[in-house]
Amino acid sequence: MKITTFNPQIITGNAEPLVQLFEELGFQKRHNQEGIGDLDVTGIRMKDENGFYLDISQPDSLKLPNDLVAIRMNVDNFDEAYQLLTKHGFKNFYGEQTVSTGTSKSAVLISPSGFTINLIEHLK
């Protein structure tokens, strides 16, 4: 398994103020996807002039009590990475479900100590 992307991600109920904040910090929107999966997620990818990436996700069908900070980790083999993380005690936020868009497969996994990884494989 190879990690192809590794950067911070904020999962929020209200993306717009965060987008504005990070734009003021020098980030620009690079990619914006709406209606992802059953959770109706809006996904915003941002990048600054130094090459740092940040993802902001807003799952419209979930009412989050507060923002979650996660690590976005793209891999070339979702199943292998998923098995490795669950072997180390990570639990899938969606139960056993994954989010599939036709071009990607993902799951939000929470570690035993509480940190979160959004595991993603872009399908070819």
What does pTM read for this prediction? 0.84
Which letter does DSSP use for residue 41 in this model? E
CA distance 68 to 50: 24
The topology under which CATH files domain 3-122 is 2,3-Dihydroxybiphenyl 1,2-Dioxygenase; domain 1 (3.10.180)
Residues 50 and 90: their CA atoms lie apart, in Å, by 32
With a pLDDT cut of 90, the percent of the chain lying above it is: 66
Q: What is the Cα–Cα distance from 8 to 72, expressed in whole angstroms?
A: 6
pLDDT exceeds cutoff 60 at 72: yes
Task: Report the C-alpha gap between 67 and 120 in whole angstroms.
Answer: 20
Q: ∠ CA 49-51-53 to the nearest 5 degrees?
A: 110
pLDDT tens digits for 18-45? 999 999 999 999 866 655 555 566 889 9
Domain boundary assignment for the chain: 3-122
